[in-house]
């Protein structure tokens, strides 16, 4: 049985942990299909990327366009979607660059063309397996270290500045 534990979001300013309110499906699908401007996060903790100060709030509204990447912590036992994520069938090794207030790079494997506007399998977000996040100062912060070693990340197409496709 699939158990949703927590959700993680990276924006230009904050790393945000919490639970998406009324989540009806996997986070990757929810973000890709979401039609409102703001996503409600319950029991949110915001970690300032500059100072590492923390803010806790029972309810936070995140503008979906501000999300650079997301991740869903869950119990993978018996989850066919998680098994599909780990298969490297027809994947390209890429480096994705976000520029702006936060210059960050995410390298990993993606399905060919998933970052394009005309991709028929995704609209606004796509999944990268084995992501490596670079450009952040982790400084021993336990919450920021959550960005290292994730099996996958959900990336916002509209926020990507540059893509280096090794294929």
CATH number of the domain at 4-165, out of 2.60.200.20, 2.30.30.100, 3.60.20.10, 1.10.287.3510? 2.30.30.100
Provide the pairing of β-strand 69-74 with 152-156.
antiparallel
Looking at residue 87, what is its pLDDT?
A: 52
Classify residue 78 as left (phi > 0), alpha (psi -120 to 50) or beta. Answer: left
Model confidence pLDDT, tens digit, residues 87-108: 546 889 999 999 888 889 999 9
Distances (CA, A) of 29 to 25, 34, 107, 161: 7, 8, 21, 22
Residue 34 scores a pLDDT above 80: no
Distances (CA, A) of 162 to 41, 65, 93: 29, 17, 14
pLDDT band of residue 136 (cuts 50, 70, 90) is confident
Residue 148 scores a pLDDT above 60: yes
- Residue 89 near residue 123, CB atoms below 8 Å: no
Residue 149 scores a pLDDT above 70: yes
Looking at residue 26, what is its pLDDT?
A: 86
């Amino acid at each position: 049985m699939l158990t949703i534990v927590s959700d993680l979001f990276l924006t230009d300013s904050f790393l945000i942990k919490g639970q998406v309110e009324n989540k009806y499906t996997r986070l990757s699908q929810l973000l890709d299909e979401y039609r409102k401007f703001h996503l409600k996060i319950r029991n949110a903790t915001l970690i300032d990327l500059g100072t590492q100060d923390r803010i806790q709030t029972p309810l936070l509204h995140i503008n979906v366009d501000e999300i650079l990447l997301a991740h869903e912590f869950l119990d993978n036992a018996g989850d066919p979607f998680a098994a599909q994520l780990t298969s490297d069938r027809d994947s390209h090794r890429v480096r994705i660059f976000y520029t702006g207030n936060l210059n960050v790079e995410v390298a990993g494997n993606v399905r060919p063309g998933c970052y394009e506007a005309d991709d028929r399998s995704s609209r606004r977000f796509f999944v990268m397996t084995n992501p490596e996040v670079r450009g952040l100062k982790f400084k021993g912060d336990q919450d920021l270290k959550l960005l290292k070693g994730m099996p996958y990340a959900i990336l916002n197409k509209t926020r990507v500045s540059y893509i280096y496709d090794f294929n």
